[in-house]
Amino acid sequence: MIFIDFEASSLSADSWPIELGICWIDEQNKLRVEAKLIQPHASWQLSEWSEFSQKIHGITLDEIEAAEDAMSIARWAQNRLAGKLLLSDAPKFDSRWLNKLLATDPASDFLEVNSVQKHAEARFTGTARAMFFRAYANGHGAHRAAADALRLGQAWRAALRKEQKTLAETPWPLVRP
């Protein structure tokens, strides 16, 4: 499972990704984060750059023009994300931007991005579910891909810990005489 977030040139239908952030929980229950700025691909329209979006995420056009090229980031993303459950709090947008990025590399396959909220509702119950949504709501969106992906991972890990604590405190057996 990988939590994913993008920053983009704008929110228009023809916008393109400028930063990809991913977060996952490793075998030691530690959160790991990676992020990459994305140089615009030659096929992406620079007219889709939004000064308003730049004010929100704080990433300048000069910064992304100096970043690693989109095809290299697409290959990196394909290697890191293929075969994993990808979770986002904005799957419609993040799926569009991920697949726009992956389209720059002919060897990449399109990937599906799922709703972290829907998966949390299906995965957790009771106090663990409440913990996920409380931690998610209390996290502050930094409008940077790594920080926003990390916020999702933190909320998920908080719910896992609450679930484990609840199970540890549950008297066993639950079978009544």
Q: What is the pLDDT of residue 148?
A: 94
DSSP assigned state of 141: P
Per DSSP, which regions of 26-160 are E strands? 31-37, 86-88, 113-115
Task: Please state the φ and ψ torsions of residue 125, each to the nearest 5 degrees.
Answer: -130, 165
Q: Which amino acid is at 5?
A: D
Whether pLDDT at 174 is above 60: no
**69 secondary structure, DSSP code:** B
Q: How many CB atoms lie within 10 A of CB 144?
A: 17
Per-residue pLDDT, averaged over 106-115, amounts to 94
Question: Among 48-52, 144-148, 167-171, which stretch is predicted with the lowest mean pLDDT?
Answer: 167-171
Higher pLDDT, 166 or 8: 8
The pLDDT tens digits for 142-162 are 789 999 999 999 999 999 999
What pLDDT does residue 45 have? 94
Q: Which domains does the chain have, with CATH numbers?
A: 2-167 (3.30.420.10)
Confidence of residue 113 (pLDDT cuts 50, 70, 90): very high
Amino acid at 98: L
In this structure, the strands spanning 31-37 and 113-115 are unpaired
Q: What would the pLDDT profile of 6-47 be if each residue is shown by its tens digit?
A: 999 999 999 999 999 999 999 999 999 999 999 999 999 999
- d(CA 172, CA 166) in angstroms, rounded, equals 12
Q: Are 49 and 11 in contact (CB under 8 A)?
A: no
Question: In sequence order, which residues have a C-beta less than 8 Å from that of residue 74 and are 6 or more positions away?
Answer: 101, 102, 103, 104, 105, 108
Distance CA 10, CA 48 (A): 6
CA 173 to CA 41: how far, in whole Å? 59
